[in-house]
Amino acid sequence: MSRQSVAKAHQKIQELSWEPAYHEPVSHYGTDYTFRKAKKKDPLKQVLRSYFPMQEEKDHRVYGAEDGAIRGNMFRQVQERWLEWQKLFLSIIPLPEISAARAMPLLFRTVPNPELHNGQAIQMIDEVRHSTIQQNLKRLYMQNYIDPAGFNSSLRNFQNDYCGTIGRQFAEGFITGDAITAASIYLTIVAETAFTNTLFVAMPAEAAANGDYLLPTVFHSVQSDESRHISNGYATLLMALSDESNHQLLARDLRYAWWNNHRVVDAAIGTFIEYGTKDRRKDRESYAEMWRRWIYDDYYRSYLVPLEKYGLEIPHDLIEESWNQIWHKGYVHEVAQFFATGWLANYWRIDPMTDEDFEWFEHKYPGWYNKYGKWWENYNRLSVPNGHNPIALEDVDYVYPHRCWTCMVPCLVREDMVVDKVDGQWRTYCHEACRWTDAEAFRPTYQGRSTPNMGQLIGSREWETLYHGWNWADIVSDMGFVRDDGKTLVAQPHLDLDPKKMWTLDHLRRCPPLQSPNVVLNEMTDEERAAFQADYNRQGPAGRPAGSVS
């Protein structure tokens, strides 16, 4: 279509919106935001006559590349270190995608702008696309990569594993609670506008460096839909801003959404990019460098800050603190170390780090070796079963962490951990911002203002509680992370597929039982708890016990 006819087509489809005359559509979702005075903003327009063929054309390229990769034996050049982490990533991501589809109707009745609704419906079907195209990629990996274990049980794994639970927030945050908090601020303004760059651009680039060019093909195709979604969110945000009574809620939601996205996405994607790669060229960007460019400069400085003049209260302190966490407090390294500590409860294999990796880390993050080097040497030493237990149960100067009740990543920057009694239960939080999210933000009143539509944190949020007192062999069997010989674990702390070098249930059987940190915390007296917290805050870096020399 010519540009002129595209413009006319857009104009024409505006005639489709109409206001009800006899019956109101059902109102399933609530919000504490108001749009009474909001001026309507137009999102990017999309006409299905051009949309469907455009998407089909993108599909041709994706599926053509997939056929080509198989014919060209791509898997002969794929790094196992990298593809193992895709067992985690691709078990998580289809759910956030489909949840974004499900989230769209939350906005129909709450944002009174029919012109937006059309864009939201197209986003809905885009997200169906993303979810199924990613499932399909995972299926292809399962069929063609050397080790299908963990891909073949993907969605069961994801649903009962603690890493899945961390990732699941990225989905459930979109579809519940206050409709605007969920489907607009958390999903569109923060998750899509800020964090899809690391998810769908930085990570695919790393995949390509590890011999996998299908992940980039699929995820760049996904990312190409993102600008329309960002435009939907921006139009909604401007409408919300034009009503001053929303400013307090916007400030709250941006704090929560920013911090939660940072905790969850940086934990996962940071680990994949820094610890899942074999590409140790010194001039390739580190996660911290990418984060600085895409999230700090492009999102924070260029997208958020200009909105300040319209009254948007930006969480400058939390954005600076996220950078501080990544750059000074080793957030990504602490998370990767924890995932590797807990390898036995997972469903993928984690490759030990080598001298070449050490050198790269030291180059990119000066001081890295002194903090983490020794532990990774121990990881390597303990990777093949030889009469010892998995590293989590050996003495390697590592204190098993408590979990954050809010973001469910463990409290790994030990000095930041806070304890609070909330809803009658003692809970640990990785940072004050996570305590605030649970104790203050997700409540029916906020700073004295009634917020009856705000959601709740629910569920059995500490994974270890479920297995308190259990033997590790029973835990892993209960979750189903066992291979088809009935005893070899799906997870391994190395990449050697020689069955004699792989861990089995028998190795776990002789380990001491799991203790739930939260159950233990709630059994403490006040003095014990105070002493526990004081000690915990003195631990680290790299999970070292309090008082040890770092």
Partner 1 sequence: MTTTQERSVPKPVFTDAEAGAREFPDSNARKFNYFVSAKRKQSHYEDVTVEVQPDPRHYLAQGWLYGFSDGKGGYPLEWTVLKAWGTDRPEPVRGPGSGGQGYEWPAHGWHEFRDPNEEWELTLYRYNANVVRQLNQNIEAAKRAKAFEQWSSNWVQFVAQHIGAWMHVNHGLGLYLFANANRRAPTNMHNNAISVNSMHKIRSAQDLALYNLTLSEEIDGFDGTAHVEAWNSDPVWQGVREVAEQLTGIDDWCEAIFAANIVFEPLIGELFRSNLVQQAAPGNGDFVTPTLIGAEEYDYAERDLRYTKPMFQLLIDDREFAEHNRRHLEQWLAAWVPRCLNAARTLQPLWSLPDAKPPRFEDALDRSKNRFSGILSDMDLRVPKELDQ
Footprint (CB under 8 A) of partner 1, residues 270-289? 278-279, 281, 283-284
- Are 158 and 164 a contacting pair, CB within 8 Å? yes
Q: Which of 183, 212, 180, 187 is nearest to 81 (CA)?
A: 212
With respect to partner 1, which residue has the nearer C-beta, 215 or 319? 215
Residues numbered 163-182 forming contacts with partner 1, rule: CB under 8 A:
165, 168-169, 172-173, 175-178
- Tell the smallest beta-carbon distance from residue 164 to partner 1 (Å): 9
With respect to Fe ion, which residue has the nearer C-beta, 195 or 275? 195
Under the binding rule (CB under 8 A), the answer on residue 384 touching partner 1 is no
Contacts of 473 (CB under 8 A, 6+ apart): 505, 506, 508, 509, 511
Under the binding rule (CB under 8 A), the answer on residue 6 touching partner 1 is no
With respect to partner 1, which residue has the nearer C-beta, 368 or 503? 503
Region from 79-87, 195-203, 376-384, 413-421 binding partner 1, contact rule CB under 8 A? 79-87
Under the binding rule (CB under 8 A), the answer on residue 98 touching partner 1 is yes
Q: Please identify which residue in 463, 472, 503, 536 interacts with partner 1, judged by CB under 8 A.
A: 463
Q: Per-residue string for binding with partner 1, 480-499, x by CB under 8 A?
A: ---xxx--x-x------xxx
Under the binding rule (CB under 8 A), the answer on residue 531 touching partner 1 is no
Q: Is 178 helix (H, G, I), strand (E, B) or coil?
A: coil
Q: Which of 495, 305, 464, 312 is nearest to 392 (CA)?
A: 464
Rounded-to-integer distance, Cα 504 and Cα 485, Å: 10
- C-beta neighbour count of 63 within 10 angstroms: 14
Backbone phi, psi, residue 421, to 5°: -100, 115
Under the binding rule (CB under 8 A), the answer on residue 86 touching partner 1 is no
The partner in contact with residue 364, picked from Fe ion, partner 1, none with C-beta cut-offs of 5 to 8 angstroms by kind, is none
- Tell the smallest beta-carbon distance from residue 381 to partner 1 (Å): 23
Q: Which of 194, 208, 225 is nearest to 131 (CA)?
A: 225
Q: Please identify which residue in 20, 448, 512, 547 interacts with partner 1, judged by CB under 8 A.
A: 20
Interface positions with Fe ion (CB under 5 A): 97, 127, 130, 263, 404, 406-407, 430, 434
With respect to partner 1, which residue has the nearer C-beta, 125 or 238? 125
DSSP state of 107: G
With respect to partner 1, which residue has the nearer C-beta, 98 or 413? 98
In terms of DSSP bridges, do strands 445-446 and 449-450 run parallel, antiparallel, or are they unpaired? antiparallel
- C-beta neighbour count of 231 within 10 angstroms: 21
Cα torsion 389, 391, 396, 398: sign: negative
What is the DSSP annotation of 192-244?
IIIIHHIIIIIHHHHHHHTT--HHHHHHHHHHTTHHHHHHHHHHHHHHHHTSG
What is the DSSP annotation of 467-505?
TTT--HHHHHHHHT-B-TTSSBBS-BSS----GGGS-BH
Residues numbered 496-515 forming contacts with partner 1, rule: CB under 8 A:
497-499, 502
With respect to Fe ion, which residue has the nearer C-beta, 81 or 461? 461
- Tell the smallest beta-carbon distance from residue 462 to partner 1 (Å): 8
Rounded-to-integer distance, Cα 260 and Cα 195, Å: 11
How far is it between the farthest Cα atoms of the chain? 76
With respect to Fe ion, which residue has the nearer C-beta, 96 or 276? 96
Under the binding rule (CB under 8 A), the answer on residue 245 touching partner 1 is no
349 pairs with which residues across the strands?
492
The partner in contact with residue 448, picked from Fe ion, partner 1, none with C-beta cut-offs of 5 to 8 angstroms by kind, is none
With respect to Fe ion, which residue has the nearer C-beta, 435 or 483? 435
With respect to partner 1, which residue has the nearer C-beta, 415 or 523? 523
- Tell the smallest beta-carbon distance from residue 58 to partner 1 (Å): 8
Under the binding rule (CB under 8 A), the answer on residue 310 touching partner 1 is no
Q: Please identify which residue in 467, 472, 503, 536 interacts with partner 1, judged by CB under 8 A.
A: 467
The partner in contact with residue 470, picked from partner 1, Fe ion, none with C-beta cut-offs of 5 to 8 angstroms by kind, is partner 1
Under the binding rule (CB under 8 A), the answer on residue 155 touching partner 1 is yes
Cis amide linkage into residue 444, ω under 30° from 0: no
- Tell the smallest beta-carbon distance from residue 475 to partner 1 (Å): 8
State which H helix or E strand residue 287 sits in: helix 287-290
With respect to partner 1, which residue has the nearer C-beta, 159 or 370? 159
| Structure-token pair, residue 129 | 């696309």
